[in-house]
Amino acid sequence: MSEEFLGHYRKQAKTSIVRTSAGEIAPSQKFSSLDAFMRSLPKDGSPTTDAFMRKKYPKLTVTPGDEAAAKAAPGARVPEERRNVEVVCWLCDAKKEGDDDFHIIIGNAAKPTKFLNAEVSGLPPVGSPDRAQLIATRVEVQKLIGTIPSGGYLHKNPPMKVKIAGSILFDGDHSPGTIGPLTPVKHRPDTVWEIHPILSVLKA
């Protein structure tokens, strides 16, 4: 079964962990809730944080299916993405995507009203300093959740309270409200910010 990252859009950022100048994994900024984390995202007077990012970095936004634009998008993280976070939240849904990422939909409460996509990345090439950590994360998450399906979302009912740590990413190859399940419940984030890649998921 393939575990290598098979996507084209921002492969470098999606398969790398934010590190210090000395090469160590950067400390995580801790948030007691998903709402608190989402309030920390840059906005600077724009209507939404997504609008702010799309205006400041237009090359981050590509049309779904446009592989040429996806490959041309900046691979490295922009300054707003260069941080690791640790967030207390609720794990609602999980699915394996065609690029070998696991989509983990997290919510802001046991009965969530806000959602965020967090991703267990497909693996970077052999030789990457992050490969071993991302392999360990994939194993850890599957032990916690169980087999993650590719044909639809696994729903956790009730959602599982967890503490997720990882690097943040603005995933401009899709639009708000397009990631996540619609049935039996609608769990779709209204932002394309993500925790990507996930470093760890622990029960909280």
Give the pLDDT band of residue 1 (cuts 50, 70, 90): low
pLDDT at position 77: 97
CA angle (139 as vertex; 78, 40 as ends), nearest 5? 30
Give the pLDDT band of residue 155 (cuts 50, 70, 90): very high
Segment 43-61, tens digit of pLDDT: 999 999 999 999 999 999 9
> In the chain, where are the structural domains located?
11-203
Asked whether the whole model's pTM tops 0.75, one would answer yes
Give the pLDDT band of residue 40 (cuts 50, 70, 90): very high
> Helix, strand, coil shares of the chain as percentages rounded to 5?
20, 30, 50
Give the least confident one: 53-62, 66-75, 160-169, 180-189: 66-75
Q: Helices (DSSP H) in 10-159: which residue ranges?
A: 11-14, 34-39, 49-56, 67-72, 131-145
Residue among 139, 136, 141 nearest 119 (CA): 141
